[in-house]
Amino acid sequence: MSPIFEDSPRFRGLRRRLVEKIAARGITDQAVLRAMERVPRHFFTEPTLIEHAYEDRALPIACKQTISQPYTVAYQTQLLAVQPGHRILEIGTGSGYQTAILCEMGGEVYSVELERLLYERAKALLEQLGYKASLRWGDGHLGWPSFAPFDRILLTAGAEEVPPTLFGQLKEGGRLVAPIGKPPQQIMRLYIKEKGRLICEEKGLFRFVPLRRRELS
């Protein structure tokens, strides 16, 4: 492992304080907090931004994208109500940090990323760290039909509407969490599929990079 993938008592201390701060902001799911205490976020930030990895804010990554703010990661993951063994589809792998959190919680994770460079980097990093997520370079609007249906679906990019295909890939009793709305702000929506119908709850306001469509080169 290269020196960049070294945890340290100092980073562990900063991480514990960050988790305490997130808990104080209202995250009560202990499994979420435990996972956040275990995953070294500084492995997932740009090397030049390591010193900011345990501040509660989004940071830039390659391809003009961002690694979400830790509170936002915790908030979305808590809404998802992940149980060990759940089959989870994530749209927007980005740095792979959220993917690692879902793996730590015992999820069987499938994650799709539109940007090839981010896909390649996250794949290499997650493998190196021993996380067994399945990653794919592609357009998340299509979901991942060959592994559907999913217990949980998470969008980590802001969409004007949930791509309808994704609802089709959600199991009965499943949950889908997505930030919905035009830039600059989205409202977090939680959908629960019950008896074939979708129940929707609207939660807090957040800012996400947009879910895009792009010709894959």
The smaller minimum CB distance to ligand SAH, of residues 139 and 172, is found at: 139
| Token pair for 87 | 């089959």
The catalytically annotated residue of 2, 8, 68, 111 is 68
Q: What's the rounded Cα separation, in Å, for the pair 151 and 173?
A: 8
Which amino acid would we find at residue 149?
P
Minimal distance, residue 201 CB to ligand SAH, in Å? 22
Q: What's the rounded Cα separation, in Å, for the pair 159 and 172?
A: 23
Minimal distance, residue 195 CB to ligand SAH, in Å? 29
Residues 6+ apart with CB under 8 A from 20: none
The smaller minimum CB distance to ligand SAH, of residues 115 and 151, is found at: 115
Minimal distance, residue 76 CB to ligand SAH, in Å? 9
Minimal distance, residue 157 CB to ligand SAH, in Å? 4
The SS3 assignment for 21 reads helix
68 annotated active-site:
yes
Q: What's the rounded Cα separation, in Å, for the pair 183 and 104?
A: 31
The SS3 assignment for 32 reads helix
What residues line the site for ligand SAH (CB under 6 A)?
63, 65-68, 91-92, 94-95, 97-98, 112-115, 118, 139-141, 156-157, 209, 211-213
The smaller minimum CB distance to ligand SAH, of residues 9 and 47, is found at: 47
Residue ranges of alpha helices (H) inside 25-96 are 30-38, 70-80
Burial 167-197, CB ≥16 within 10 A → b, else e: eebbeeebbbbbbbbeeeebebbbbebeeee
Minimal distance, residue 206 CB to ligand SAH, in Å? 12
Partners of residue 96 on adjacent β-strands: none
The smaller minimum CB distance to ligand SAH, of residues 190 and 196, is found at: 190
User: Could you tell me the end-to-end alpha-carbon distance of the chain, in angstroms, rounded to an integer?
Assistant: 31
CB-nearest residue to ligand SAH: 94
The smaller minimum CB distance to ligand SAH, of residues 69 and 191, is found at: 69
Active site residues: 68
